[in-house]
């Protein structure tokens, strides 16, 4: 159990670092800075789906953190299922999902808004 907890803690911090890196990369003037123009076009679009997608794709730091935390959890579960440490259990997976995603989202948001400022 301690091994799973250590892997989880490592993956949460790694996910938060990835969120910080991705958020910096999509800013204007950075490597993927053109993404901001794409988000602006999506935001001005008449399509409600495109408008709704702009926040998790980069306009809102909290939404961006949460989306990448969910994606990080999927990667984490895929990794853990490839090891002998994780026995797939629906109840445990739901609890682990809530712990992982909530901790990862908050840590990612902290990395984006407070760390290195």
Q: What is the pLDDT along the chain (117 residues), one digit of tens a residue?
A: 788 888 889 999 999 999 999 999 998 889 888 999 999 999 998 999 988 999 999 889 999 999 999 999 999 888 887 777 666 666 677 888 898 999 999 999 999 888 776
Give the global pTM.
Answer: 0.84
Cβ contact 37:45 at 8 Å? no
54 alpha carbon, distance to own chain's centre: 15
Q: Check residue 87 and give its pLDDT.
A: 64
In this prediction, residue 13 carries a pLDDT of 94
Instruction: State the Cα torsion 75-106-14-70 to the nearest 10°.
Output: 10
The pLDDT of residue 59: 87
Residues 6+ apart with CB under 8 A from 56: 63, 64, 66, 67
Q: Residue 28, Cα to own-chain centre: how many angstroms?
A: 20
pLDDT at 91: 64
């Amino acid at each position: 159990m301690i091994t799973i907890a250590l892997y989880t803690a490592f993956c949460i911090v790694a996910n938060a670092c990835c969120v910080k890196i991705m958020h910096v990369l999509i800013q204007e003037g950075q490597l993927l800075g053109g993404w901001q123009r794409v988000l602006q076009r999506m935001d001005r679009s008449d399509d409600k789906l495109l408008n709704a997608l702009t926040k998790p794709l980069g306009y809102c730091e909290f939404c961006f953190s949460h989306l990448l935390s969910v994606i990080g959890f999927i990667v984490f579960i895929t990794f853990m299922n490839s090891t002998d440490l994780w026995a797939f259990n629906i109840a445990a997976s739901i609890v682990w999902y809530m712990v992982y995603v909530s901790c990862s989202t908050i840590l990612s948001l902290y990395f984006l808004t407070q760390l290195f400022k």
